[in-house]
Structure formats: C-alpha cells, structure tokens
Amino acid sequence: MLLRGILAGTALLWGVALATPETYATPEAIDHDSADPKTRESGTLRLRPFSLGTPAAASLYTTPPTPSPQDADTETDGPAHQLHSRPVSAKSGDTLAGMLTDAGVPRGEAIAAIDALKPLFDPRRIKIGQDLSIDFERDSPIGEDPGRFVGFVLDVDYAREILVARAATGDFSAEEKEKPLVAAAARAEGEIRSNLSLDGSKAGIPTPVLIALIRAFSWDVDFQRDLQPGDRFELMYDVFYDESGTLVHNGEIQYAAMTLSGIRRAIYRFEDKDGFADYFDEKGRSARKALMRTPIDGARLSSRYGNRKHPILGYNRMHRGVDFAAPIGTPIYAAGDGSIDRIGRNGSFGNYIRIRHNSEYSTAYAHLSRYAKGMRKGKRVKQGQVIGYVGNTGRSTGPHLHYEILRGGRQVNPMTVRMPSGRSLKGEELASFQKGREELDQRFAELALDIMIAGED
C-alpha cells in the first residue's frame, strides 16, 4: 500500500523530473554496498550499475576514457601548439564537407578527411542534430584564423564515435572508438489506471522501453482487452551513462512482470547459445508463441501461396494464402492464442473467421462449412482450439480450407514466414537461463528494497 501511495501521489512528478540530471543517480554516486538509505533518493526508478554478463560486453562498457584531440584542449602543449575544437551540430541541408568548410577547414583538406572517413561512415548518412567536433592546431591562442586543421570527431551514436586525425605526413586516417559508458539497471513499476502507455510513462518509463514491454507481452496479453484498473506492472531495464553521468541510452528490458486480474506473468531476457536474445517465462518457455503453419490435421496442401491460374476465373492472380484440401467437416484449429475479430460471410471467402493474435499478427480461415460452437466476434481462443469446420462456401472448387497469415495487415506466405518461436529451453541452456533469472530477480529485489526504505523517510 505504501508503494501504491507513492506511485499514485507523485508518479507524474517523477516522470517529469526524470529528464533532469539531479533525479538520476549518477553512476559514480551509486554505492553498491551503501547501508545508508538516505543517500538515495526516492522514486519509481532505481538505478544500480551492473556488469552486462558477457566479458566482451563488459569490457566494451568499462573502457577507460580515450584521450581524443579535443581533450587536449588549449593548455596542454603550451603556446607552440595549441589544440582547440569547434563543436558543430548538423542542421537541415548540411553536408559534412559544408560543416567542415564553414568552420574554416580548407576545401581540399575537408575532402581528404572525409575520404578517410568513408570506409567507416557514409558521409551522406549524416543526420540533423548529429554532433561533430572539429579540431585545429595553432601557434597563437588569439586570432581569427582557426589554425591548421588536424581532424575531427564524429558522434555516431550513444556508444560510438569516429576519430579522423591527420598524421605528421599530412595524410588523414579514421578510427572508430567505443565511448566509455557505464551500464546500470533501472527499475520502474506502477498500477494500471487507464492504460499501460499512459500509466507507464507516468511511472517514468521511456517510450521505446514501453513499446518493447508491450511487444514482449503481446503474445500473452491483449492490451486492448485484458488490462483492468488495479492491474500492475514492473520491470527492470538497462540504462547507459556517459562519462559525465548523463543518461545517453535506454537499453533492453531484462525483466518484466504483469499482474492481470491477480495472475502474474513474468518474463526474463536470455541470450541463447547462438547469441539470439529473447524473453522466457520462469520455466524457460519462450514468451513468443509460434503460429501453426498448418491449422488442420491430415489435410493435403492443394494450392500454394503465390501467382497461379485461378481455377474458376481462369486468369492469373495472386493467391494470398494456402489451401488445404480436406473433407467437409474436418476441424480447423486456431493457429495461435488470440481473439476473433471477424466472423461471418465474407464474399468469395464464404464463411470466414479472422483471429487477431497480437498487434502484429492475424490469421484468417475461409470457405468454412460452419463455425464451432460459441464462436463470435471478440471471443478469446487458444492455440489448437477448434474454431470451425472445412467447407465449400464462397467461391470454391471443392472442400478446402483457405488459410492466411497476416502480418501488419498484409498477407504473408504461411509456409515460409519467419515465425516467432514457441520453444522451451532445455538442458544446459535451461540451467544457464535459471541462473541468470535468479540474478535478475535478486537485482530487482535489491532495487525494490531501496524504494521501500526511501518511502519510509
């Protein structure tokens, strides 16, 4: 109740305050073993640095700062060789060459420097707002002339930058650097009052993280129907800080749980032995459910997806589904969990059912002789549940099921579409998943303790 009080009372305030650096604990300020809760501030978001698990990634994010030309700044070399940088930000219509020459770089040198950059970065890909730091060297600290152009640093994204530097020979060379970042975990939680997007952002969850949260649960939860006021959500995701302690990137959700009408569903991120990361429940079952490619038993594939001569109309047309020939009355299964969003006569499709599985996938079933008992618009169905029976209704040359998988509202080939897996982890992978899951649970619990203590202040 205490937590709910905090959430209800000040969630919005935090959501706003999160944009300011004071609200986020800087990585340096976080003490793993601090026993003094008063050093932490309260909030729905808690942060804690942690290793990313893989040695490669860990080293990536803990690389000590690399001195770059602009770090040398004006005082290092004395008046003989003063380095200084001009920071510029790409505006609409800017080209990299234009940005360099505008800053005082001679055109020929700008082109030579960009040529060195090209193998690592296509200069046409420069985006509005992208930062560039242009480095010069001069003998006198004062003067209109920027001095000798010695290179530039191009900010690629939150994790990478490219250094272009001029050697003593005058040639330019380019090198990509990983920026030194500190990884931390952020915890957020809240209660549903209206919908997850609104209540999630009130709890301080950044929009891309919210979208990822909805996507991860979309096979299990119909966000338009299943959420009730009082349902709860909680999650922990990666955040990355630069050297100055500024939040520069929100990363992957590592753990999330939704408690809907008292039923809790938790998912954990896990990278399998092939390096493919996905979400799994406590038992190591994939949070993604596969759709059945053949939602019928003992049927013969009688027409494939693609161009064909139409058996009745006689001309070539695109067949946007697959046909399974089967006797009238053969049961047809729901290809996956979902809800019926269309049922009834549908022109040449005859008796027709369409199931919405999540925001991305639907499946459709045509030419049915009849529907299974209880089927109606809005009805929830489980994968493998009988929804209807093979027939010959609509424009059909013989009893068959016409089956479509729709992705983003467009038909895709059910036989070849790359389907989300419905797999379960086994053996060593399962053991490794369970170990990782326990660590995530523990980390999340530690962050929770911080909130409780902070709330009692």
Reference 261, options 222, 288, 287, 215; nearest CA is: 222
Q: Which two tokens stand for residue 68?
A: 């770059």
CB 254 within 8 A of CB 238: yes
49 three-class SS: strand
Reference 182, options 272, 246, 274, 128; nearest CA is: 246
Q: Closest approach of Cβ 176 to Zn ion, in Å? A: 51
Nearer to Zn ion by C-beta: 43 or 414? 414
Nearer to Zn ion by C-beta: 137 or 323? 323
Q: Which two tokens stand for residue 456?
A: 């009692």
The stretch near Zn ion (CB under 5 A) out of 68-76, 242-250, 266-274, 319-327 is 319-327
Is residue 269 close enough to count as binding Zn ion by CB under 5 A? no
The stretch near Zn ion (CB under 5 A) out of 124-132, 218-226, 317-325, 348-356 is 317-325
Q: What gap in Å lies between CA 382 and CA 431, rounded to an integer?
A: 29
Q: What gap in Å lies between CA 288 and CA 266, rounded to an integer?
A: 13
Nearer to Zn ion by C-beta: 189 or 323? 323
- 374 — phi, psi (to 5°)? 90, -5
**Residue facing Zn ion at closest CB distance:** 402
| Size of residue set near Zn ion by CB under 5 A | 3
Q: What gap in Å lies between CA 210 and CA 120, rounded to an integer?
A: 32
The stretch near Zn ion (CB under 5 A) out of 196-204, 233-241, 294-302, 398-406 is 398-406
Q: Closest approach of Cβ 321 to Zn ion, in Å? A: 5
Which residue bears the tokens 């005859």? 350
The stretch near Zn ion (CB under 5 A) out of 150-158, 212-220, 356-364, 394-402 is 394-402
Of 137, 323, 337, 450, which lies in the binding site for Zn ion, with binding defined by CB under 5 A? 323
Reference 132, options 107, 110, 106; nearest CA is: 110
CB 41 within 8 A of CB 25: yes
The stretch near Zn ion (CB under 5 A) out of 92-100, 182-190, 318-326, 414-422 is 318-326
DSSP string for residues in 44-89: S-EEEE---SSHHHHHHHHPPPPP-HHHHTTTTTTTTSEEEEEEEE
Q: Closest approach of Cβ 326 to Zn ion, in Å? A: 13
Nearer to Zn ion by C-beta: 61 or 365? 365
Q: Closest approach of Cβ 366 to Zn ion, in Å? A: 7
Nearer to Zn ion by C-beta: 302 or 432? 302
Nearer to Zn ion by C-beta: 232 or 402? 402
Is residue 402 close enough to count as binding Zn ion by CB under 5 A? yes
Strands 232-241, 247-260: pairing is: antiparallel
CB 140 within 8 A of CB 81: no
DSSP string for residues in 390-430: -B--SS-SSSEEEEEEEETTEEE-TTTS-PPP--B--HHHH
Is residue 404 close enough to count as binding Zn ion by CB under 5 A? no
> What are the start-end ranges of the H helices in 218-375?
none
The stretch near Zn ion (CB under 5 A) out of 280-288, 352-360, 378-386, 396-404 is 396-404
Nearer to Zn ion by C-beta: 136 or 324? 324
The stretch near Zn ion (CB under 5 A) out of 52-60, 125-133, 146-154, 315-323 is 315-323
Nearer to Zn ion by C-beta: 301 or 452? 301
Q: Closest approach of Cβ 301 to Zn ion, in Å? A: 11
Q: Closest approach of Cβ 341 to Zn ion, in Å? A: 20
CB 339 within 8 A of CB 378: yes
Q: Closest approach of Cβ 272 to Zn ion, in Å? A: 36
Nearer to Zn ion by C-beta: 15 or 321? 321
10 three-class SS: helix
| Contacts with Zn ion, residue ranges (CB under 5 A) | 321, 323, 402
